[in-house]
Structure 1
C-alpha cells in the first residue's frame, strides 16, 4: 500500500520547542489577557450582593477563626504581635499563592472547549489567573495595611517595627506569583491524563498551609523539625513579609535565595511540561 504521507505537498508541524516561550506573541495577545482577567475578577461576582467585598470578607472570617481556635483556645504564640495582624499577614500571603496554584492547575480541564476551537498562546490563561489573583491580593493587602496603620499609629503599647525589609516586598510577591504559576502549570499538564490529581490538589494545598508558618511563628518550632519547615519555599516568604511589617519573624537571605531558586526551577520545568502537553492534550482531555 502506498504511503499516504508522501502525497502531501506541505506538512504543518509546531515549530516551538519545549523551552521556548514566545513573549512577543504573548504581548500581541495582551487584549485577550485583559479579557480573561476581567472575566475572573468582575464577572464572577457580577450577580452577587456584596460583589468584590467578598475579597475582604474571606480573610476577615479566616482570621477570626484563627484568633479563636489557634490564638485563644490553643494558645499558640504570635511572637508578641497583635493576633489580628499576625494571622492576617500570613493569610494574605498564603491566599495569593494558593489561589494562583489552584486556579492555574485547572487550565487545561476548564478551557478544553476553547482550546479545541481557536488558537491563542495557551500560557495566556494561567498568566491571567496569576494577574487576576494579584488584583485580589492587592485588595486584601490594602485591608491588612489599613488595620496595620491603625495599630502602628493609634495603639501606643505595640511591638510593631516596620523596617528595611519593606524593600523586599516586590521580590516576595514575585516569588509567590511565579511559584504558584510554576506548580499550577505542572499539575495542569498532569491532570489532563491523571484526573485524580484534581482531588489531591484541593486538600493538598490545605495541608501545605499547616507546613507553612501561617498560624504559628518559626520561632516556636522545635529545632529537629525546623529544617523540614524551612524546606518549604513559602516559609521564607511568609516570614519575610511579617518581618518587613511587624519586625518579628526573620528576613533570611539564604532562605529567600533558596525560595527564588526553587521557584525558577519549578517554573522552568513547568514550562517544559506545559509546552509538551499542550500540543496533544485534546487527545486525553
Structure 2
C-alpha cells in the first residue's frame, strides 16, 4: 500500500473551484504524457493511408494549387504583385495550423471521453497536445514554403524577406493561443450543447473568407479595414507575409491589438474549460 515510506507517494485528487483554477505544476509534471499524446497524434494522422506522411507535403500544395487556379487565374484576385504560389502557400500553411487546431481542440473532450473516464491526468494535456501536434505539422509544411521561397528568389521573383520574419515564433504562439482558446471554449460548451459541434466546421470555413488567406488586406476597402482587422488572424497573416514576402501589413498597432485579443480568448477558454472539466464526465 502507498504510505510515507512507499516508492509511490499517495496522490490525493480534490475537487476544484473557481473559473481559472489551473494546476500548471501538475501539467508540467505530465509533460511526458503530453509528448506521448503528440507522438500518437502525429502517427495516427496518416496511419493506414496509401501515401502516409507524404500527405504532410501534398495537402498544402494541393490546396495552394486549387487557390491559384480558382482565385488567381479564374477570379483574378490580386496578390500585391507577389507570385501567386508564394502568396497562397504562405496563407494556407498558417491557416491550416489555426483551423486544424481549432477544429481538433473543439472535439477533444468528446473524442477522449472513454480515456478520461478510466484514468486521471491533467485534462488540459489533451488539447495542449493537439496544438503541439499542429506545430509539428506547421514546421514541416512551412519548410516547404521556405524551400519554394528560396527557389523563387533565385529565379528573381519580387519577394523581399526582411528582419520581421524573426517574429514568426511570436506569430505562431498567437495563432496557437487563439486556436486553443476558441477550441477550449467550444469544447466546454459542446459538453452541454452537442449541436454546437456541428457548426464549428462551417464557422471555420466562413472565417477563412473573412481572413486574408485568398486575398490581400489591401483589397479590402479602407472603410471596412478596421472591421477586417477585428479578426486577429488578419493582422497575423499580414505580418507573416510582410516578414517573408515583403508585402502586407507591417507589424504594428494592429498586431498588438490582435495579440491582446488572442491572449484574452485564451484566458476565457481556459476559464470556461476549467469550470466545466470538473463534471463534464457526467454529461458528455
TM-score by length of 1: 0.93
**1:27 to 2:32 alignment:** no
Supply the distance in 1 between the matched residues of 2:151 and 2:233 (Cα, whole angstroms).
Answer: 27
1:16 positional shift? 5.4
- Counterpart Cα distance in 2 of 1:44 and 1:169: 25
User: What is the SS of the residue equivalent to 1:42?
Assistant: helix
Q: Distance in 1 between matches of 2:255 and 2:224?
A: 19
Note the C-alpha offset of 1:223: 1.7
In 1: Cα distance, 2:220 partner to 2:267 partner = 32
Per the alignment, residue 133 of structure 1 pairs with 134
Cα distance in 1 between the residues matched to 2:73 and 2:46: 34
Alpha-carbon distance between aligned partners in 2 of 1:37 and 1:280, rounded to the nearest angstrom: 25
**What SS is found at the alignment partner of 1:196?**
helix
After TM superposition, give the deviation of residue 46 of structure 1 in Å: 2.8
Partners of 1:15 and 1:279 lie apart in 2 by 7
1:86 aligns with 2:87: yes
Q: Tell me, in whole angstroms, the C-alpha distance in 2 between the residues paired with 1:200 and 1:46.
A: 27
Distance 1:41 1:278 in 2: 25
Instruction: Provide the C-alpha distance between the structure 2 equivalents of 1:207 and 1:55, rounded to a whole number of angstroms.
Output: 24
Q: Is the CA contact (8 Å cut-off) linking 2:212 and 2:238 kept in structure 1?
A: yes
Deviation at 1:104, TM superposition (A): 0.4
What are the equivalent positions in structure 2 for 1:130-209 lying under 5 Å apart?
A: 130-153=131-154, 155-156=155-156, 158-209=157-208
Number of equivalenced pairs: 273
Which runs of no fewer than 5 residues in structure 1 stay unpaired? 1-11
1:3 maps to which residue?
A: none
* Deviations 1:92-132 (CA, angstroms, capped at 9, x unpaired): 11000111111000121111111111110000000000000
Moved more, 26-35 or 212-221: 26-35
Instruction: Tell me by how many angstroms 1:44 deviates.
Output: 2.9
Q: How far did residue 252 of structure 1 move? A: 3.3
Counterpart of 2:218 in structure 1 is 219
Aligned to 1:282: 281
Distance 2:264 2:219 in 1: 30
Deviates more, 1:197-206 or 1:221-230: 221-230
The aligned counterpart of 1:254 is 253
| Moved >6 Å (runs of 4+) | none
Question: Partners in 2 of 1:127 and 1:142 — Cα distance?
Answer: 23
Contact between 2:93 and 2:142, CA under 8 Å: does it hold in 1? Answer: yes
1:236 Cα offset (Å): 0.6
Contact kept, 8 Å, 2:102 with 2:182, in 1: the verdict is: yes
- 1:13 Cα deviation after fit: 4.5
The CA deviation at 1:43 is 2.6
The answer to whether the 8 A contact 2:20-2:275 is kept is: no
Q: Write the deviation string for residues 11-37 of structure 1: whole angstroms up to 9, x where unpaired.
A: x84145431322211121112111111
188-197 vs 25-34, which moves further: 25-34
Q: Which moved more, 1:36-45 or 1:133-142?
A: 36-45
Q: What residue in structure 1 maps to residue 6 of structure 2?
A: none
RMSD: 1.4
Instruction: For residue 119 of structure 1, give the secondary structure of its aligned residue in structure 2.
Output: coil
